[in-house]
Amino acid sequence: MIAVLDELVKKGKNPKATVLEAMKDSGRKAVGCFPIYVPEEIIYAAGLLPVGVWGGKTDIKLADKYLQSFCCSIMRANMEFGMKGTYDMLSAVVITAYCDTLRAVMVNWPYAVPNVKVVPFVYPQNRQGDSAFRYTLEIFDKFQSEMESISGKKVTAERLEEAFDLYEQWRALSQEFTTLAATHPVTINAKVRHYALRASYYMDKKTYTEKLMEVNQALKSMPDEQVKFKVVVTGLLAEPEGFLDLFVANNISFVADDLAQESRQFRTPTRPEGTVYEKMAWRIMDLRGDTFFYEENKSRGRMLIDMVKESSADAVVVCLYKFCDPEEFDYPVYKKELEAAGIPILYLEIEQQMDSMEQLRTRIQTFTEIL
């Protein structure tokens, strides 16, 4: 494997060690960012290190006090890690409010994890009209003050511009990486792709971006590769590792994704005009096909159909995280549209704390036998 790619994969697999290393190297305090779309540029401009907080594999023992077993496994894991001190190195966590579980975590966090400050962050759900845009600008300002108080540093216009440019570069390189991954599915199999992208949540974005640029350069010099099956994957995220192993074992590559943890983070361009905050707000206003934002005419199905066509994929794989209500509400709508377009769909219900993969193995292998 490409050495720098191997390095990213290792960092993606070891969140805590990677975050501690990044804190040490950058001298920045770390701020945890719950899913999704936390305005990391502001955190970075305040001299802090934004860190992804996406749960992980753990035994749930403490979190049951606040979150029942029918809450999503990502949030249960986040609460568990918080309560057992895994996040003690964070100066704060930013918690969004897209669903009932996130809202429950937001209000319970100060009691469950009193030593890690919580900063609520709430985007407008209905983005029609000028008020949503103006509201977004206001919450960016308010969020900036919160970050400044944590870091003790002012967010100057220059720092903000630098952070914005860095994140734009990261978005462009991440998109380029996913395109190159589609043409190099042996080197960048489903697991490598996931961990290489996931590393961005735990590293200093500047370091990560430099390394991703090296990876892309190396991939560009390599001949194209082929595996038997190509799929577009949609959902929150594709974990745990054993789940990704099943795709590798069945010669299935992810040629494009609509995952909240991956491409949804970097696929929407901003508009060229305006201040940094206006550009960031436009990106939120322009997000389409996303479960977590209200869209009168849901465009996710049409978007997935386009992704399948553009990437010449054989099918769409739905990674539906158990008990994720927003994702579950979307599924019947886009399923109908994909079926009408004659695109095969594999629906897989998953959670982070899965141990047995046998049923999923059978489902995935059968799907390849049908394809």
Applying CB under 8 A, which residues contact another protein? 349, 356, 358-359, 361-363, 365-366, 369-370
Comparing CB distances to another protein, the nearer of 59 and 369 is: 369
Minimum distance of another protein from residue 217's CB (angstroms): 39
CA dist., res. 199 & res. 201, Å (int): 5
Q: Which is nearer to another protein, 121 or 247 (CB)?
A: 247
Q: Residue 369 CB, nearest distance to another protein (Å)?
A: 5
Nearest Cα neighbor of 165 from 41, 18, 295, 76 is: 41
Of 128 and 362, which has the nearer Cβ to another protein?
Answer: 362
Q: What angle do CA 200, 205, 210 make, to 5 degrees?
A: 95
Distances (CA, A) of 89 to 28, 31, 52, 144: 11, 9, 13, 21
- Nearest approach, Cβ of residue 127 and another protein (Å): 33
Nearest distance in Å: CB 329, another protein: 16
Q: Nearest approach, Cβ of 36 to another protein (angstroms)?
A: 26
Residue whose CB is less far from another protein, 206 or 363? 363
Sheet of 252-259: strands edge to edge?
Answer: 252-259, 229-235, 315-321, 345-350
Shorter beta-carbon distance to another protein: residue 135 or 347: 347
CA nearest 322: which of 352, 361, 294? 352
Shortest distance in whole angstroms from residue 367 CB to another protein: 9
- Of 172 and 345, nearer to another protein (C-beta) is 345
Phi, psi at 230, each rounded to 5°: -125, 130
Q: Buried b / exposed e across 188-210, counting CB within 10 Å, b at 16+?
A: bbbbbbbbbbbbbbbbbbbbbbe
Q: Are 12 and 194 in contact (CB under 8 A)?
A: yes
